């Protein structure tokens, strides 16, 4: 697995390839005209900003601080954990 610092310096297209192959999708959220997808890679998170109207990825942001993932908390369904 690639470290966060190595991931951050990858070219855009390589980041997209790496996410597709190695990342675990968690959840997405919608904000204005964009969708934000949250992925997990071993010891860090990756957020992908996608514009449906433009049909393309606008940005990719890798981070370790779990507090930055707080905006997704309302979209995560943990009801299956309460059996």
CATH code of 28's domain: 3.30.67
Evaluate if residue 72 carries a pLDDT over 60: yes
Cross-strand partners of 28: 37
pLDDT at 78 exceeding the cut of 70: no
> Is residue 80 a part of any domain in this protein?
no
Give the number of other CB atoms < 10 A from CB of residue 50. Answer: 16
Number of domains in the chain: 1
Per the structure, the complete domain to which residue 29 belongs is given by 4-72
Is the pLDDT at 83 greater than 60? The verdict is no
**Model pLDDT for residues 11-57, shown as the tens digit of each residue:** 999 999 999 999 999 889 999 999 999 999 989 999 999 999 999 99
Query: Does the global pTM surpass 0.85?
Result: no
What is the per-residue pLDDT for 5? 96
Q: Tell me if 62 sits within 8 A of 44, measured CB to CB.
A: yes
Q: Please state, in angstroms and rounded to a whole number, the distance separating the CA atoms of residues 80 and 49.
A: 28
| Nearest-angstrom CA–CA distance, 7 and 67 | 20
| Nearest Cα to Cα of residue 62 among 34, 22, 31, 32 | 22
């Amino acid at each position: 697995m690639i470290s966060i610092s190595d991931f951050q310096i990858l070219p855009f297209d390589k980041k997209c390839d790496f996410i597709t192959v190695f990342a675990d999708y968690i959840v997405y959220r919608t904000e204005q005209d964009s969708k934000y997808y949250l992925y997990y890679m071993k010891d860090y998170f990756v957020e992908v900003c996608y514009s449906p109207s433009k049909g393309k990825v606008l940005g990719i942001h890798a981070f370790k601080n779990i507090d930055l993932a707080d905006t997704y908390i309302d979209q995560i369904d943990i009801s299956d954990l309460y059996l």
